[in-house]
Structure 1
Amino acid sequence: MPAVPDEDSGIHCRLDELLEQRGMTLTRLSALVGVSIVNLSVLKNDRARAIRYSTLRAICDALDCDVGDLLVVGPHP
């Protein structure tokens, strides 16, 4: 069954926490991965509906983390 557009997926992006732990800004991450600050902000605020594997890999490489460190599954609402 396809997701409803406004449905909470239960996936949480920990981008804000990882940036803080590494002392990195969203602006710096944007420059490193070649993704706009606006798009990273959408991801950071759990409003993204999709992410390319190449973008996910670039973010994980820049933050020296695994996908599971960045994206976590929470309980279903």
Structure 2
Amino acid sequence: MPVTVTLDQLLAARGMTGRDLAERIGLSETQLSMFRSGKVRGIRFSTLARMCAALECTPGDLLGYAIDPSDLAAPPEA
């Protein structure tokens, strides 16, 4: 999947731990860990907004994307 999560770099740049962020935004450490590792299939906009507010960043700072032509050929996920 060409979508990447850059949360670890943002946390390091801000001197925060995953635990700190999870507590600030009301997620469990397990939920945040799943997001950090890219093992989630989606994220709620409200959760993304809380992350951005806590880290003083934009969604584009948290997520990266590399174009993959095979994405256009893949059937839509149900």
Gapped runs of 5+ residues in structure 2? 71-78
Q: Distance in 1 between matches of 2:40 and 2:67?
A: 18
1:21 alignment partner, SS class: helix
Aligned length: 69
Off by >6 Å, runs of 4+ in structure 1 = none
TM norm structure 1: 0.84
Aligned-pair identity in percent equals 39
Gapped runs of 5+ residues in structure 1? 1-7
Structure with bigger gyration radius: 2
Q: Which structure features the higher share of helix residues?
A: 2
Output the aligned Cα RMSD: 1.1
TM norm structure 2: 0.83
